[in-house]
Structure 1
Amino acid sequence: MVTPVLTIVVPCYNEEEVLPETVFQLSGVLDALIQDQLISNESTLLLVDDGSRDATWELIERFHTTNTFVTGLKLARNAGHQSALLAGLMKAKEHADCVVSIDADLQDDVDAIREFVMKYHEGYDIVYGVRQDRSADTFFKRATAQGFYKLMTRMGVNIHYNHADFRLMSRRTLEKLEHFQEVNLFLRGMVPLLGYPSTKVYFTRKERFAGESKYPLRKMLAFAFDGITSFSVTPIRFVTTMGFLLFALSVVAALYAIIGKIMGATVTGWTSLILSVWFIGGVQLLALGLIGEYIGKIYKEVKRRPLYIIEKEVTAENRELAVQKPSKTAWSK
């Protein structure tokens, strides 16, 4: 059996509190897979610093000199989670046969990576990590998450329920993903479009090991809206349908107002106010805002600005300190 080269890509933004434990656990996973001859000993851990303001990059450089698994990319600015993840994926595909993406907070089960690799050996190009359930979430978070996935499905977006960005992808899928030139990234919607053989691995999500979530409610709502408007024109069609319905209601309201006017049962000015403000004004503002969102996305697309700029990188080739690969128990936290 040919052992593939595996790279684990970890986007990092202000993760100095959790990063030592993340490196420790993921290095242990790589070491165990190598010992079991499931992956090559050339496999690596790629940490992508997404313009962090803390000591994240300094930690990456330190781990690079003491742990031969660790490589790193430093982006010149905070490009966002999706762009940082894409930067790591595109870099990893240069030497890896398969790539696993996982967040730095250790909420995704690192032990599931072994199952990912087993599925890869069975011939699957894409393996989705899917949450077993949401019993640990608060009622509000569970309800909003379920609503998000259901809404995306109804909008016509092909997305896997309870799957975020914890997945394995083969090199050939990453090479095809590179052909997607969207500036407005929504990877969990883009990957299913590739169409290669795929499967799912279920896991139980854990509590964040340390630090604070980088996705508060405001960012989660913005991310959901970006996903919908990047993959579906259904909202525009909904506005059109709503416009016809409100036009019909306006006709009914107009007849009611005219009858009231004839019978003398209206206050002066009420007719024009109710028709112009309640119906037309609200619909126009909603429609203009939604159309403006789509125009804004078109504006970003046609400018073709780079999604990220790599400022620094530390790789196996430019390692400053050559050390022998330590045992699992030797990795310093």
Structure 2
Amino acid sequence: MRKELPLLSIVVPCCNEEAVLDETTKELTEIMSNLVTEERIRPDSVILFVDDGSKDRTWAIIEQKTKINPFVQGLKLSRNFGHQGALVAGIETAGKFSDCVISIDADLQDDVHAIYEFIDKYHEGCDIVYGVRDKRETDTFFKRNTALAFYGLMNKMGVKLVPNHADYRLMSKRAILEFEKYKEENIFLRGIIPLLGFKTARVYYNRKERFAGESKYPLKKMIAFAIDGVTSFSIVPIKMVTWLGFFLVMIGAGIAVYSIAVWLLDHTISGWTSLILSIWIVGGMQLIAIGVIGEYIGKIFKETKRRPRYSVEISTMDELKIKETVGHE
């Protein structure tokens, strides 16, 4: 059990979210005010909006709110680093002065009222609290079932994820310090956080409709995200390519035996159909194999460069809280 009141930071990554910022700020401010009144967090707790290279008025709105809302602070990245990069920037920045950090998307699909239970679990001694979707009725049939298929696939490949958990979670300072030891550029938070260990808990909530604006994760990005997750944590795809190669060799050996037998029996066959099919099938398999191996080589190439995962252009944070330049490996 923790007795001291924690300084809580809520990290909210934003990319072209001007349509939802007013309502998001309103709801999170209400949550923070209630927690302070109930003496469950410190009064100097923070809502940290991270602008991930927005092209609309997102940053202008954040700056305005920092002047009128005592909870709100802002972090503007120098360009778009992607959702995971923005989350890492916010978590590492807030982790410098916070006792615990909660990350949540700006679209209000994740129930903000679950934060009360997050804080309860933190006071009980949990270092990581996962927000887990109890129901996905607001998702389309396709999205709901592809998500379940993804979690099942990752589990079979040896990657231990929390099913129906996105990036709505609480992390204690101890967990954040441990997380900062993971320096890879190809970051996949849903896979890394369970590796940290420590005492964890789950809070279940119902996912809601997006308050306004458009989803930042269309099908193309969802597929890319899934590929990143698989290739960042598992070499099973390369093993599958190896076994596929053995399988094709066995088929080739069978075709060779069959061809010799036909030749010895002096049967006349044209062979064009089987030849063309073999070329296309084997050629396609080879391209897939090269693509899978290339994906891993590409990740190795990026990692060897050791480039920063994000860069900060502007920060409204108090200099007493952040004493060093943000934007490290």
Normalised by the size of structure 2, how large is the TM-score?
A: 0.93
1:138 Cα deviation (Å)? 1.9
- Report what 1:327 is aligned to: none
- Report what 1:167 is aligned to: 169
1:272 Cα deviation (Å)? 4.5
Share of identical aligned residues, percent? 54
Letter of the structure 1 residue corresponding to residue 139 of structure 2: D
1:253 Cα deviation (Å)? 2.2
- Report what 2:231 is aligned to: 229
**Counterpart Cα distance in 2 of 1:60 and 1:216:** 25
- Report what 1:62 is aligned to: 64
2:192 matched to 1:201? no
1:258 Cα deviation (Å)? 3.5
- Report what 1:46 is aligned to: 48
- Report what 1:188 is aligned to: 190
**Counterparts of residues 99-138 of structure 1 (less than 5 Å):** 99-138=101-140
Letter of the structure 2 residue corresponding to residue 282 of structure 1: G
- Report what 1:325 is aligned to: none
SS of aligned partner of 1:132: strand
SS of aligned partner of 2:111: coil
1:282 Cα deviation (Å)? 2.1
**Counterpart Cα distance in 2 of 1:222 and 1:47:** 25
Letter of the structure 2 residue corresponding to residue 218 of structure 1: K
1:265 Cα deviation (Å)? 4.1
**Counterparts of residues 240-251 of structure 1 (less than 5 Å):** 240-251=242-253
Structure with the bigger RCO (C-alpha within 8 Å, sep 6+) is 1
2:289 aligned residue (287, 290, 299): 287
SS of aligned partner of 2:270: coil
**Counterparts of residues 1-333 of structure 1 (less than 5 Å):** 1-261=3-263, 262-267=265-270, 269-270=272-273, 272-279=275-282, 281-317=283-319
**Counterpart Cα distance in 2 of 1:34 and 1:265:** 88
Name the stretch that deviates more: 283-292 or 113-122: 283-292
1:260 Cα deviation (Å)? 3.9
1:266 Cα deviation (Å)? 1.9
**Counterpart Cα distance in 2 of 1:265 and 1:29:** 81
1:240 Cα deviation (Å)? 0.6
**Counterpart Cα distance in 2 of 1:204 and 1:214:** 20
1:142 Cα deviation (Å)? 1.3
**Counterpart Cα distance in 1 of 2:234 and 2:301:** 17
Aligned residues: 317
Asked if structure 2 preserves the Cα contact closer than 8 Å seen for 1:68 and 1:316, the reply is no
**Counterpart Cα distance in 2 of 1:121 and 1:30:** 16
**Counterpart Cα distance in 1 of 2:249 and 2:271:** 23
Asked if structure 2 preserves the Cα contact closer than 8 Å seen for 1:3 and 1:39, the reply is yes
Deviations 1:209-234 (A, max 9, x none): 00000000000010001000000000
In the alignment, structure 2 segments of 5+ residues that lack a partner are: 321-329
**Counterpart Cα distance in 2 of 1:178 and 1:140:** 35
**Counterpart Cα distance in 1 of 2:125 and 2:255:** 62
Normalised by the size of structure 1, how large is the TM-score?
A: 0.92
1:136 Cα deviation (Å)? 2.9
1:274 Cα deviation (Å)? 4.1
1:271 Cα deviation (Å)? 5.6
1:317 Cα deviation (Å)? 5.0
1:270 Cα deviation (Å)? 5.0
Deviations 1:260-293 (A, max 9, x none): 44543421555654444323x1221111110000
Asked if structure 2 preserves the Cα contact closer than 8 Å seen for 1:257 and 1:271, the reply is no
SS of aligned partner of 2:135: coil
**Counterpart Cα distance in 2 of 1:259 and 1:307:** 60
Letter of the structure 2 residue corresponding to residue 125 of structure 1: D
Letter of the structure 1 residue corresponding to residue 44 of structure 2: E
In the alignment, structure 1 segments of 5+ residues that lack a partner are: 319-333
SS of aligned partner of 1:32: helix
